A and B are shown apart, each in its own frame.
Chain A
Amino acid sequence: MSKKYIITICDGTGCIQKDNAAIRKILEQQLKEHNLTNDVRVNLSGCLGMCDKGPIVVINPGYTIYGNVTTNDIPEIVEEHIVKGKPLARLAIQEDHLYNRFFRIFGDAKFFGKQMRIALRNCGIIDPENIDDYLSLRGYEALAKVLTDMTPKQVIEEVKLSGLRGRGGAGFPTGVKWQITARAGSPNSPRSASDEKYVICNADEGDPGAFMDRSAIEGDPHTVLEGMIIGGYAIGAKQGIVYIRAEYPLAVRRLEKAIADAREHGFLGKNILGSDFSFDIDIRLGAGAFVCGEETALIRSIEGGRGMPRPRPPYPSVEGLFGKPTLINNVETWANIPVVILDSGKWFSTVGTERSKGTKVFALAGMVVNTGLIEVPMGTTLREIIYDIGGGIPNNKEFKAVQTGGPSGGCLPAKYLDTPVDYESLAKAGSIMGSGGMIVIDHDSCMVDIAKYFLEFTQNESCGKCTPCREGTKRMLDILIKITEGKGEMYDIENLERLGNMIKKASLCGLGQSAPNPVLSTILNFREEYEEHVKDKKCRAGVCKQLLTYEITDKCVGCGACKKVCPVVAITGTTKAKHIIDQNKCIKCGACFSKCKFDAIIKK
C-alpha cells in the first residue's frame, strides 16, 4: 500500500541535540490519533546541512522544509499539511525559485541555491540506517557496473579522466594515486613484494571546526563503502579499513550497521555480486591524536603503535600498511567515486574549474547566519558561500576574515572575498583548501589571538618526532603569548616570520609543514593588528585580557555590585555614587564587566 506522505526528520548531530526524538514521538502520536499511520511514512535522515534551523522536518511530496520545529507545532503541521493538504507557511523555510539540479529533491530553499551536491547527494534524503533507501537511489549500481563491464584499468582511467583530486586537503590527483598503487607490487614494479594490498578510508577528521566527514558518514555511510569497494577492485586489494575518530560514536555505529547490511546483501565478502572479486571492510578507531590524519602516522596507528609519521618516500602507495602497497583516500574523495563511475568521469570534469574538478564540501561555522554543511562547485567565490549560502554575518556585524583549512590553513581578509574556491586560488591567497573547515570571523575576534589559538593546538598535537615542529612551534607560541600580554617588541614579529618559514621547510610531515600558516597568514594580512599589540599595547577587538583597561562610565548608579565581585578590591566608591577602578590593582579578570547590569563598565 502506497503512502500519501513521507515525513522525514533530520537525524544529524545538530538536530539530535535539539531533541528531534521528542518531535518524532509526538508526530507518531498525532498520526495515530488522526488514524493516518497507513497514509504517512515517517523517516529519519542524515544531516541536511541546515544545522542552525534544527530540528528540521521535511514533508514530501511538495518538498516542504520546516525549520525550528517544536513539539507544540506538530499538531498544527499534521492538521494543516497532512489532513487539509495545505503546507504551513508559518514554519516553512522561505521558498525561493532557483535553478539547481537538485532542487526537486532538496526543496526550494535559498540555502541550496548555489550548492551542488555530489558527495552529499543522499545526505538528508535517505535513512542512513536503511540499505534499501540507498539502493533505491542507484546505490551499489556503480559497483555492479564496475564488476560486470569494466576492467580495473578502465576504472582507473575513468577516475583519472574525472580530474578528481584528494579532498583531504593536499589535492593530489586521485586517479594517479590509484594507478601507482595498482602498479606497485606487480612483477614489473621494483618492489614486487606480494600481491597483498590495502585500501584505507581516512575518517580521522581532526581539524577543529570541521565536521564534513562526520556528517557524510552519518548521513550516507554506504556511499563511502561503495567507493572503497570500487577502489579495492581497481588496485587489486582484498581488505579495506576505515580509520575513524572514537569521538564520533554515532558515525561509528552507522558505519558498523552499513557494513553488516552490505555483507548481508553480498556487496562485501567473498565473490561480490557473483564475480571473482572478494573484499571486506573493517573499522579501526582513532584515539584523539590530530597527527594521525597524516597518512604515514595513520598507518602506524592502525598497526597499533604511537601515531608518528615517517619520512616519505616510500609513499604508502608503494609501502604502506604492514609494509604493503596501500591506497589512502579521504571520506569525501571516496564518496565521489560512485558518481564518477555512474555519471562518467567526463561529466564530472565539466563541474568546477580548469584544474580543480567537481565540488567541495565545507563545514560553514563561526559568525555566520546559516551554519551547517554545504557543498559547492569548485570556483564558487568565498563571497557567494558566506553571503548567498551562509546568509552573511549575524547582528549586522562586519566581516573581518574567513579561516579555511583549520590549523594548517590561513585567514583571508575582506579583499579576498571574491577569490574562487579551488586548490590553486586559495593557496595563492595565502591559505589552503584543507579538508573543508570554513570559519567566519567578525570584528569581535582578535587575529593575534586566533593565530595563538591555532598554534596552541598544533603545538599540543605535535608528536615530537622532529625538532623543527616540536621546538619551533613552542618558541613561536612563546612569542605570541608575549605579544598578547603586551610584552612584545617589534623584532618579535620578524622572528615569528623567520621561525615560521624555517619550520615549514624543515618539518617531517604535513602537520609541521603547515603549522605556521595561521600565524604567517595573519601577519601578512593583519600586520597592523600585530603592530598595535606591540607598539600601542592595544587589542582592538578587546580579546587580549592583559591589554584591556576597564573603566566605569557615568552610567554607573552606584549599586556596588562590581565592588562586591572584584577579587582584588580594586573598585572603590560609596553607595549611589559613581565607582572607580584602580588601574594599578586591576587584574583584568572582567568579573565587574559581566556583573554590571547597567552597561556602565566599558573595556578599552
Chain B
Amino acid sequence: MEVVEKDKKQELKEFIDSVKNKEHGDSYLIAVLHKAQGLYGYLSREVMDTIAQEMQIPTAHIWGVATFYHYFNLTPPGKHVVSVCLGTACYVKGAPQILEAIRNELKIDFGQITEDKMFSLQIARCLGACGVAPVVMIDDKIHGEMTPQKVVDVINQYRKAEKKQ
C-alpha cells in the first residue's frame, strides 16, 4: 500500500512539472486538481498542500478553487459512485422517484456514503443522455430508462458482482 501511495505522489508531481513551466503555468491548477482526483478519488488536505508546494500557489487559493467546482470531492467516495441525473428531461420523466428508491435502498442521502463504503450517492445535473431519460450513472456507466424497480435491480447487480470477487 505504501508503495502505491508513493507512486501516486510521484505521478502527480510529474504531471505538475510538465505543466508548471508552460506559459501561464498557474492556469493549469484545475487540470492538476483533475489529475489529483483521478489518482486519489478525492482531494484531501494533504494532497492540496502538496499541490500548493509544487505549484507555489497558496493552499487557501487551491481550497477556494476546489470548493467552487462541484466536480471535486473533498471526502473519499464509495467504491461505486451512484450519480442520479436530475436534468430537466430526467426530472419530468420521474427522476425524483428514482432518487427516492435509491435513498431507500442504500439508506443514505446524497453526499453520503454507505456504511460498508460500497456506494456513495450524488446528484448530477444533466449527463447529456436525455434521449434515454431517466438515467443513473454508476461509476462511468450510464444506465438509461430507469424505473424505481429497475434501479434497485442494477444496484443489486453491483452488489452481486462485488460478492463474487
Contact = CB atoms under 8 A, between A and B. Distances in A.
B92 A366 contact: yes
B125 interface: yes
Nearest to A52: B131
A594 to B, nearest CB: 8
B118 interface: no
A318 interface: no
B76 interface: no
A373 B132 CA distance: 12
Nearest to A49: B131
Contacts of B128: 13, 205, 210-211, 214-215, 247-248
Given A18-B132, A304-B26, A367 B93 contact: yes
Given A247-B71, A439-B88, A284 B130 contact: no
A305 interface: yes
Contacts of B68: 289, 306-307, 463
Given A51-B132, A205-B128, A206-B125, A304 B92 contact: no
Kindly name the residue among A205, A208, A246, A403 whose own CB sees the greatest number of chain B CB atoms within 10 A.
Answer: A208
Given A17-B144, A18-B144, A289-B68, A209 B87 contact: yes
B125 A363 contact: no
B133 interface: yes
A284 B31 contact: yes
B160 interface: no
Kindly name the residue among B30, B93, B128, B140 whose own CB sees the greatest number of chain A CB atoms within 10 A.
Answer: B128
A289 to B, nearest CB: 5
Given A288-B71, A439-B92, A51 B30 contact: no
Interface string B85-97: 0111101110000
Contacts, number: 137
Interface string A237-275: 000000000111100000000000000000000000000
A246 B144 CA distance: 20
A14 interface: yes
B131 A288 contact: no
Given A289-B68, A439-B89, A211 B30 contact: no
Contacts of A403: 88
A594 B133 CA distance: 21
B33 A287 contact: yes
A302 interface: yes
B127 interface: yes
B15 to A, nearest CB: 13
B24 interface: yes
Contact of B27 (A17, A304, A367, A463): A304
Contacts of A290: 125
A285 B92 contact: no
B126 A306 contact: no
Contacts of B151: none
Nearest to A283: B31
B47 to A, nearest CB: 15
Size class of B's contact patch?
A: 35 or more
Interface string B23-57: 01011111101100000000000000000000000
Nearest to A461: B125
A153 B126 CA distance: 40
Interface string B130-165: 111101000010111000100000000000000000
Contacts of A306: 64-65, 68
A472 interface: no
B124 interface: yes
B72 A287 contact: yes
A367 B87 CA distance: 14
Nearest to B149: A594
A52 B145 CA distance: 10
Contacts of B132: 14, 17-18, 51-52, 54, 371
A286 B70 CA distance: 10
Contacts of B142: 13, 16-17
A302 B29 CA distance: 9
A453 interface: yes
Contacts of A214: 128
Contacts of A52: 131-132
A306 B69 CA distance: 8
Contacts of B124: 247
Interface string A276-309: 0000000011111110000000000111111100
B74 interface: no
B88 A14 contact: no
Contacts of A365: 88-89, 130-131, 133
Contacts of A287: 30, 33-34, 69-72
A437 B70 contact: no
Nearest to A50: B131
Contact of B88 (A215, A286, A304, A437): A437
Interface of A: 13-14, 16-18, 51-52, 54, 205-211, 214-215, 246-249, 284-290, 301-307, 322, 363, 365-367, 371-373, 403, 406, 437, 439, 441, 445, 450, 453-454, 457, 463, 594
The 7 A-B pairs of least Cβ separation, nearest first, read A51-B131, A209-B88, A287-B69, A208-B87, A365-B89, A288-B71, A211-B128
7 contacts: A18-B132, A289-B70, A306-B64, A366-B89, A371-B133, A373-B131, A454-B88
